[in-house]
A and B are shown apart, each in its own frame.
Chain A
Amino acid sequence: MKIVRNAVDSLKPHFGKGGRFEKLHPAFDALETFLFVPGHTTENGVHIRDAMDLKRTMFTVVVALIPTLLFGMWNVGYQHYRAYGMEVSLLENFMFGFWRVMPIVIVSYAVGLGVEFLFAVLKGHQISEGYLVTGLLIPLILPVTIPLWMVALSAIFCTLLGKEIFGGTGMNFMNPALLARAFLFFAFPAYMTGDIWTDLSPEPGHALVDAYSGATNLVYFDENYRQMTTVSDMFWGFEQGSIGETSVFAILIGAFILIASGVGSWKIITACCVGLLGMGLFLNLIAPADIPTHPMHTPAYYHLLIGSFAFGAVYMATDPVSAAHTEAGKWIYGILIGAFTVILRVFNPAYPEGVMLSILLMNVFAPIIDHLVVERHIKTRLKRA
C-alpha cells in the first residue's frame, strides 16, 4: 500500500494546477479516490460526513450484482450445450459463458467510462462513480448474442442522452441502463426479440437437438401459459433469457445484500411485488372462463418468476436517483410498476417484457408522485393547524 501511495503522491503535482497534465486532472482524481479514501474535509459549517459515500454505495450494488453475473455466465454455457444435447461439467459451462459475457462487460465499461471521461475533461468536473453500476447492469439485461458494436452504441446513448445531458450522475430522471436497453429494443428489434436468447455458435460434430426451441417463457405465456418451464426451473434460473435476469434465486441474494446494507429500498421492492400480485390476482378474477389458455389465467405468482421482473424490481426500480423519494411515494411508485408490468405482459403481445417499459414510465412519473405526496402532507398539516 505504501508503495502505491508514494507513487500516487509523486505523480500528484503533475496533475495539479499549473502541472503538465492539468487537463487530465479528473482522470487522476478518479484513480486516486478509487484507491484511497478521499482526504476531503468540510470547510465551513457543521456537516455530518458518512463513510457511505457515492463510491461505496455504487460498489455495494456491484457486489450485489455479482451472484447474477456468475449465474448468468454459467447459464449461457448451460443453455448453449443443452441446445446441442451435450453433457459437460459445471466448469465448462461456466467458462463458455465467461468468454461470451466478458467481452460485453468490457465493451460496456470501456465505452461508457470513455464518454464519462471525455465529459469530465471537457467540463472540468470529477469523474463520477455512477457508471460503475450502469456498466455492469447493461450486459446483464442484454441477450448474449448481441453484437458488441450495438453494446457500445447503447452505452454511448445512455451516458450521453440519459445522463450527461441532464448534468451527470444524480441528475438523470431515468435509469440509464434501462434506457440503453430500450434504445436497443427499438433500434435493433431483430437483435432483441425472437430466437436470440441462446448462443448457437456451432459445435463441431453436434447438431441442434430437435427439442430445441428459442422461445422464452414470455412467448409461451402469450400462447399457452401451461407450456412454460417448471416453477423450480424458473426460480433457479435454468431457462433462456437475458444474461443476468433468469435466476430469481441469485437476484434474491442480491436483494438481501442491498436491503441489509440499506442501499436499496425494501419498500420499493415489496411494493413492486404487491402491485404485481394484486394485478395478477385481479386479472385471474376477470379472466374469460371459456378460453382456458388465455394469459389472464396465469397464476399470479408466475409473474414474479417469469421474465426479468425480479431483476427489474430489485436492481432497476430501486435506483435512488430515478425512483420516488418520499416514503409514501415509494409505495405508490412500486405498486404502479408491478401493476403496469402485468398489464403490458398480458394485453400487449408486441412488448412481451413489460418490466422495462413500466419502470421507465414510472421513472418519468416519480417526480409527480413525490409532488402529490408532499402537497397532500402540507394540506393535512394545514388542516390540523
Chain B
Amino acid sequence: MATETTTTAAPSVKPKKEALFSKKNVKTLRDPLDDNNPITVQVLGLCSALAVTVQVKPALIMALGVIFVTTFSNLIISMIRKTIPNRIRIIVQLIVVAMLVTIVDQFLKAYMFDVSKKLAVFVGLIITNCIIMGRLEAFALAQKPWPSALDGFGNGLGYGLILVMVAVFREFFGSGSLFGYKLVPQWAYDHGYVNNGLMVLPPAALFIIGIYIWWQRSRNKKLINVS
C-alpha cells in the first residue's frame, strides 16, 4: 500500500560509510510516527488496537512488547536476509517472530502476571500482527541491519503512540481514571456525571482512531488522497 516510499531498494554501491543518524535514517525512524503511521495510514494492526486499549497500562505494556518484537525481528531478518531462500522466507520470518513473541510472553508471565492475564491471547497474537510481517516484507528483506532496526523501532513506536492515545481516552471517559488512578472527582459523580459505557466497548477505539485519522489528514497535507 503506502509503503513504496520506504521500499526503494538500498543503493547497492556505497562509496563511503553512512553516519549512524544520517538524514535518511532519521527519516526512516520518524516516518512511521506520523506520515506513514502503521495504524492510521497503513491501517494495519487494528485488531489489537481495539482489544487492549480499555486501560492505559495494558496498552503501554502491549506497545512495549510490539516495539521489542518489531525492532529485533527487523534486525534479525535483515542480518540473515541474504541467506534466506526466497520461497520459504515467510516461514523463516514466522519462526523469528514467534521466538521473539514467546520471549515477551514468558517475560510478562514471569514478572507481570496480572497484566499478562489482561492481555491474554493478544500477546500471542502479536505473531499475526500485520505490522510486523509488513515491515519484514517491505523493509527488512532489502535493507541493512541498522536502518531495519530503526524502521522496526519507529513502526513499533508509531503503533504504540496510537495505542496509548486511544487508551487514555477510553480509560478516562470509560472509567474516569488513568493508570487505575481515579481522576474524575467524586463530586462530579454526585452531580450526575456518569462514566461512558460505550468507551469500554471495542467500537469506541474505532471511533477514536477514526477521529484521529480525520484530524491527522486535515492537518497533514501529505496524506490527502493516500489510502
CA distance A188 to B200 in the complex (A): 11
A147 within 8 A of B: yes
Near B by CB (< 8 A), chain A positions 186-240 give: 186-191
B214 within 8 A of A: yes
B196 within 8 A of A: yes
Q: Determine how close the nearest CB of chain A comes to the CB of B100; give it in whole angstroms.
A: 37
B192 within 8 A of A: yes
Contact indicator per residue, chain A 143-177, by CB within 8 Å of chain B (1) or not (0): 00001011000000000010001000000000000
B201 within 8 A of A: yes
Q: Determine how close the nearest CB of chain B comes to the CB of A116; give it in whole angstroms.
A: 17
Closest chain B residue to A186, Cβ basis: B198
A59 within 8 A of B: no
Contacting residues, chain B, for A161 (C-beta < 8 A): 207, 210-211
Q: Determine how close the nearest CB of chain A comes to the CB of B91; give it in whole angstroms.
A: 38
Closest chain A residue to B197, Cβ basis: A187
B29 within 8 A of A: no
B99 within 8 A of A: no
Interface residues on chain B, number (Cβ under 8 Å): 12
B121 within 8 A of A: no
Contacting residues, chain B, for A191 (C-beta < 8 A): 194
A183 within 8 A of B: yes
CA distance A56 to B49 in the complex (A): 45
Contacting pair A190 B214 (CB below 8 A): no
Contacting pair A187 B199 (CB below 8 A): yes
Contacting residues, chain A, for B196 (C-beta < 8 A): 187-188
Closest chain B residue to A165, Cβ basis: B214
Contacting pair A187 B198 (CB below 8 A): yes
Q: Determine how close the nearest CB of chain B comes to the CB of A325; give it in whole angstroms.
A: 26
Q: Determine how close the nearest CB of chain B comes to the CB of A157; give it in whole angstroms.
A: 9
CA distance A149 to B198 in the complex (A): 16
CA distance A187 to B207 in the complex (A): 13
CA distance A165 to B192 in the complex (A): 30
Q: Determine how close the nearest CB of chain A comes to the CB of B209; give it in whole angstroms.
A: 12
CA distance A161 to B196 in the complex (A): 17
Q: Determine how close the nearest CB of chain B comes to the CB of A337; give it in whole angstroms.
A: 22
Q: Determine how close the nearest CB of chain B comes to the CB of A359; give it in whole angstroms.
A: 18
CA distance A190 to B194 in the complex (A): 10
Contacting residues, chain A, for B197 (C-beta < 8 A): 186-189
CA distance A190 to B199 in the complex (A): 15
Contacting residues, chain A, for B203 (C-beta < 8 A): 186
CA distance A165 to B215 in the complex (A): 11
Interface of B is mostly: helix
Interface-centre pick from B196, B201, B203, B211 (highest chain A CB count, 10 A) = B196
Which of B194, B201, B207, B214 is within 8 Å of A188, CB to CB? B194
Q: Determine how close the nearest CB of chain A comes to the CB of B211; give it in whole angstroms.
A: 8
Closest chain B residue to A148, Cβ basis: B192
Contacting residues, chain A, for B194 (C-beta < 8 A): 147, 150, 188, 190-191
Contacting residues, chain A, for B192 (C-beta < 8 A): 147, 149
Q: Determine how close the nearest CB of chain A comes to the CB of B18; give it in whole angstroms.
A: 44
Near A by CB (< 8 A), chain B positions 182-221 give: 192, 194, 196-199, 201, 203, 207, 210-211, 214
Closest chain A residue to B174, Cβ basis: A187
Contacting residues, chain B, for A189 (C-beta < 8 A): 197
Q: Determine how close the nearest CB of chain A comes to the CB of B19; give it in whole angstroms.
A: 44
CA distance A165 to B214 in the complex (A): 8
Interface-centre pick from A147, A165, A187, A190 (highest chain B CB count, 10 A) = A187
Q: Determine how close the nearest CB of chain B comes to the CB of A187; give it in whole angstroms.
A: 4
Interface-centre pick from A150, A161, A186, A190 (highest chain B CB count, 10 A) = A186
Q: Determine how close the nearest CB of chain A comes to the CB of B197; give it in whole angstroms.
A: 5
CA distance A190 to B198 in the complex (A): 12
Contacting pair A183 B198 (CB below 8 A): yes
Contact indicator per residue, chain B 144-180, by CB within 8 Å of chain A (1) or not (0): 0000000000000000000000000000000000000
Q: Determine how close the nearest CB of chain A comes to the CB of B172; give it in whole angstroms.
A: 14
Closest chain B residue to A190, Cβ basis: B194
CA distance A188 to B196 in the complex (A): 6
Contacting pair B201 A186 (CB below 8 A): yes
Closest chain B residue to A150, Cβ basis: B194
Interface-centre pick from B192, B194, B207 (highest chain A CB count, 10 A) = B194
Closest chain A residue to B194, Cβ basis: A188
Q: Determine how close the nearest CB of chain B comes to the CB of A118; give it in whole angstroms.
A: 14
CA distance A190 to B203 in the complex (A): 19
Q: Determine how close the nearest CB of chain A comes to the CB of B95; give it in whole angstroms.
A: 41
Contact indicator per residue, chain A 126-158, by CB within 8 Å of chain B (1) or not (0): 000000000000000000000101100000000
CA distance A150 to B198 in the complex (A): 13
Closest chain B residue to A184, Cβ basis: B198
Closest chain A residue to B201, Cβ basis: A186
CA distance A183 to B199 in the complex (A): 10
Q: Determine how close the nearest CB of chain B comes to the CB of A150; give it in whole angstroms.
A: 8
Contacting residues, chain A, for B207 (C-beta < 8 A): 161
Closest chain B residue to A183, Cβ basis: B198
Contact residues of A with B, CB < 8 Å?
Answer: 147, 149-150, 161, 165, 183, 186-191
Q: A161-B210, A187-B197 are in contact. List 11 more A-B contacts (CB 8 A).
A: A147-B192, A147-B194, A149-B192, A150-B194, A161-B207, A161-B211, A165-B214, A186-B201, A188-B194, A188-B196, A189-B197
10 tightest A-B CB contacts, nearest first: A187-B198, A186-B198, A187-B196, A187-B197, A188-B194, A147-B192, A189-B197, A188-B197, A186-B197, A165-B214
Pull 21 A–B residue pairs with CB atoms less than 8 Å apart, ordered by A: A147-B192, A147-B194, A149-B192, A150-B194, A161-B207, A161-B210, A161-B211, A165-B210, A165-B214, A183-B198, A186-B197, A186-B198, A186-B203, A187-B197, A187-B198, A187-B199, A188-B194, A188-B196, A189-B197, A190-B194, A191-B194
